[in-house]
Amino acid sequence: MSDTAPSLLVVSAHAGDFVWRAGGAIAAAADRGERATVVCLSYGERGESASQWLQGKSLEEIKDIRRSEAEAAAAALGADIEFLDLGDYPLVESPEAVARLVEVYRRVQPTVVLTHPLADPYNGDHPAAARMALQARVLAQAIGVPHADGRVPTKDEIIGAPPVFFFEPHQSEQSDFKPNVLLDITSAFPRKRAAMECLPAQKHMWAYYTDLAVRRGVQVKRNAGPNLGLPHDTMGEAYVRYFPQVTGVLS
């Protein structure tokens, strides 16, 4: 693996997931001058586009709409975005899909990965995305795993072992989501809100995820200790770190 600047990779099952669940982390990374890349495995064209179906739009029209919305949202956050167009409801896991993700990992060289948690009883696409993201992370580290065109990767193309953080599902309690990382997104939240407003097909989510950021912000302050001087209107996002943290100092 080559020495790289900080690089955030977000693996999102559908075209809107990255905004609701990780928009603050993405915008904060971009504000620090880091590269942020979102890969959407599907457009959410079947399961998250009810309003367009009710208007009589075709499948391809809906894909175009969702792509445009997601591109606008990514731009609002300061992120690059790409689409694998694997289909949704269901999002089907396959060696071919994982191989395409391996190519993304090797190209992006992430130092941090964000994706869905491994449990979500309401939407099987989300755990499927997480499983593929984790498998691709492992394969992208192996020099013996060739590129899609059969080439053996160079030592600069294989990746290290970036930490993986699961972002919060829509119904946390039912998904047994117990965050162990709370992220202060106060300064980044206006960009997250602007990105949410790029997704009018899911306008009902705007207030939900604003309220969630307020609640997580309260927990950020509660767990940060008394001396940080965090503002009253602190906003937050919650994550679960999947692999152990390696450190020489406990803090």
How far apart CA 154 and CA 115 sit, in angstroms, is 26
pLDDT digits (tens, 9 = 90+) for 40-86: 999 999 999 999 999 999 999 999 999 999 999 999 999 999 999 99
Q: C-alpha 87: how far from its chain's center? A: 17
Strand partners, 40: 12, 83
Residue 15 CB partners (closer than 8 Å, separation 6+) = 40, 42, 43, 44, 48, 66, 67, 69, 70, 83
Please check whether residue 196 is in contact with residue 20, taking contact to mean a CB–CB distance below 8 angstroms.
Answer: yes
Please check whether residue 238 is in contact with residue 182, taking contact to mean a CB–CB distance below 8 angstroms.
Answer: yes
Question: 0.85 cut: is pTM over it?
Answer: yes
Which of helix, strand or coil describes residue 87? coil
Task: State which H helix or E strand residue 195 sits in.
Answer: helix 189-196
Domain residue ranges of the chain, discontinuous segments joined by +:
7-241
Angle between helices 17-31 and 59-77 (to 10 degrees): 30
Give the angle 251-26-168 at the CA atoms, nearest 5°: 70
Superfamily per CATH, domain 7-241: LmbE-like (3.40.50.10320)
pLDDT of residue 231: 72
pLDDT digits (tens, 9 = 90+) for 139-195: 999 999 999 999 999 999 999 999 999 999 999 999 999 999 999 999 999 999 999
